[in-house]
Structure 1
Amino acid sequence: MEPGNIVRSTILVVDDDASIRDALAEFLGAHGYAVRTAADAVAGEHAWRQAPADLLVLDVMMPGEDGLSLCRRLSPAGAPILMLSALDDVTDRIVGLEVGAWDYLTKPFEPRELLARVRALLRRPAVASSTDATDGSVTFAGWWLDMSERRLRDPAGRAVALSEGEHALLAAFVRRPGRILTRDVLLDLARGLDAAPYDRAIDIAVSRLRRKLAESDTATIIETVRGVGYRLVPPVRSA
């Protein structure tokens, strides 16, 4: 326990570059986080299994097992994972997100941007963050959704009808708040989508869902991540 009963968020940094590990540990530590480090995927997984962190910062390209493989194994635990990589191709970012990363940052990066992404990820509530999330009721941005009964109410308490596909799509988002979901991931998650199984179908379905969630006096609920996919912006809480 920290002085004054303040509990610091813990971050595990896994990177084979010692200079990056040390720099991140010093920088994030200076901003109030408790940081642990590991030099490769094997050491990183061991550290995680011993004491899971609130956030995993994981390098993609490491000798031996790469970060993508480790991300695929650890992502079901539900903690946010921020991938770091020198690869800046859209395809590389999509692969990282599809194996379970919540966000993706290319090297070299500005430390202040890393800090902003870390803070944003740690603000996301743990509830409904994984595919094993409850099928009960949740709220987000004033909306209320009954996951099992497929009922949706707007912030004014009015019922909003959802088709089977729209409910499946919305459920995929609220189970993973803050995570960037690629079109392929959404196609896999939103079984029963009311459209043909191709990328444009997801764009159309998201557009329809957005229209139903439209509120002139509220901020964006579903954000477009250009070239990659979509993300549910507001936090999700159990109702």
Structure 2
Amino acid sequence: MGKPEDRLVKAPASHDRRPRLMVLEDDPVTRSMIARYFTNDGFDVQEAASAAECRAILRRSAVDLIFADIHLPDANGITLAQEIRAESPVGIIFVTQQDNEVDRVVGLETAGDDYVTKPVNLRELMARSRALLRRRRLDSAPGNRRAIMTFGSYILDLTRRELSVSSGGQIPLTRGEFDLLAALVEAGGRPLYRDFLAEVVSSRPGESDTRTVDTLVSRLRRKLNHQDDGSAMIVTVTGIGYRFGIVVDSA
């Protein structure tokens, strides 16, 4: 193995700051549109119009996620992604033409975590991105460290996937209920779009339904009592989705 400075990709970035994103897209209009949308949502975004620019960025800075256009002017996006994947667990979402099923299948089987089709739906791309980042954050947590969140009298153990009360006893949750609650709790009061939550609770990527989110919220509200001060744990945000309504502490 070469010297550290010879590596294509720097070590994965820390999760204790804004998610770092690279938009690898040769079309300037599409690239600028995606970059602006994600910057406005709190991402640290860098832009690349070619494989050469992508490699240069990765040598000098770490990223958490790459949106990779498959058809680049100086390389095949899938081949480039395989090159990156060999050195880093960075998340990769391919951007493909809607009618090119071969690109989608090959990309997902070799190096990609997910894909979206052009013209890009920005809300869908945001939902898929946050879902992917969340999965990777949980997957990369040290095995000897439990991720525990507390709120009110409740204890949410993200590692063991358990919800309990401080006085003792567990509250049984389905997979979807747990995933939805975990996403809201981790957001720390920030509103989450229903589209994003639908991706979080979907068991199969790309087959999500926002009505499922509403059903799960109703079930969670029945299982989780309101706090003594009357504030709802899961608050409806009109036109957006839901947010967590009380203070959360992490252990």
The residue matched to 2:95 in structure 1 has which SS?
A: strand
Q: Look up the match of 1:53.
A: 63
1:112 aligned to which of 116, 119, 123: 123
Cα pair 1:15 1:58 within 8 Å, conserved = yes
- Once the two structures are superposed, residues 56-83 of structure 1 have per-residue CA deviations (whole angstroms, 9 ceiling, x without a partner) of 1111111120211111011231011111
Q: Does 1:218 align with 2:198?
A: no
Cα distance, 1:89 vs structure 2? 3.6
- 1:24 and 1:43 map into 2 onto residues whose CA distance is 17
Q: Does 1:32 align with 2:45?
A: no
Q: Look up the match of 2:241.
A: none
* Letter of the 1:105 counterpart: V
Q: Look up the match of 1:71.
A: 81
Q: TM-score by structure 2 length?
A: 0.51
- Once the two structures are superposed, residues 169-215 of structure 1 have per-residue CA deviations (whole angstroms, 9 ceiling, x without a partner) of xxxxxxxxxxxxxxxxxxxxxxxxxxxxxxxxxxxxxxxxxxxxxxx
* Letter of the 2:39 counterpart: G
- 2:52 and 2:83 map into 1 onto residues whose CA distance is 12
Q: Look up the match of 1:23.
A: 33
* Letter of the 1:223 counterpart: S
Distance 1:96 1:24, change over 3 A: same
Q: Look up the match of 2:104.
A: 93
- Please tell me the root mean square deviation across aligned C-alpha atoms, in Å: 3.3
* Letter of the 2:33 counterpart: A
For structure 2, list consecutive stretches of 5 or more residues without a partner in the other structure. 1-15, 148-155, 163-171, 180-201, 208-251
* Letter of the 1:44 counterpart: C
- 2:138 and 2:43 map into 1 onto residues whose CA distance is 22
Give aligned pairs, total.
151
Cα pair 1:78 1:126 within 8 Å, conserved = no
Distance 1:81 1:94, change over 3 A: same
2:135 aligned to which of 117, 124, 140: 124
- For 1:142-181, what aligned pairs fall within 5 Å after superposition? none
Cα pair 1:79 1:126 within 8 Å, conserved = no
Which is higher, the Rg of structure 1 or of structure 2?
Answer: 2
The residue matched to 1:124 in structure 2 has which SS?
A: helix
* Letter of the 2:175 counterpart: A
Cα pair 1:85 1:105 within 8 Å, conserved = yes
1:8 aligned to which of 18, 27, 52: 18
Q: Look up the match of 1:202.
A: none
Cα pair 1:137 1:144 within 8 Å, conserved = no
For structure 1, list consecutive stretches of 5 or more residues without a partner in the other structure. 1-5, 146-153, 156-215, 228-239
- 1:113 and 1:128 map into 2 onto residues whose CA distance is 23
- 2:27 and 2:63 map into 1 onto residues whose CA distance is 20
* Letter of the 2:174 counterpart: T
- 1:94 and 1:37 map into 2 onto residues whose CA distance is 25
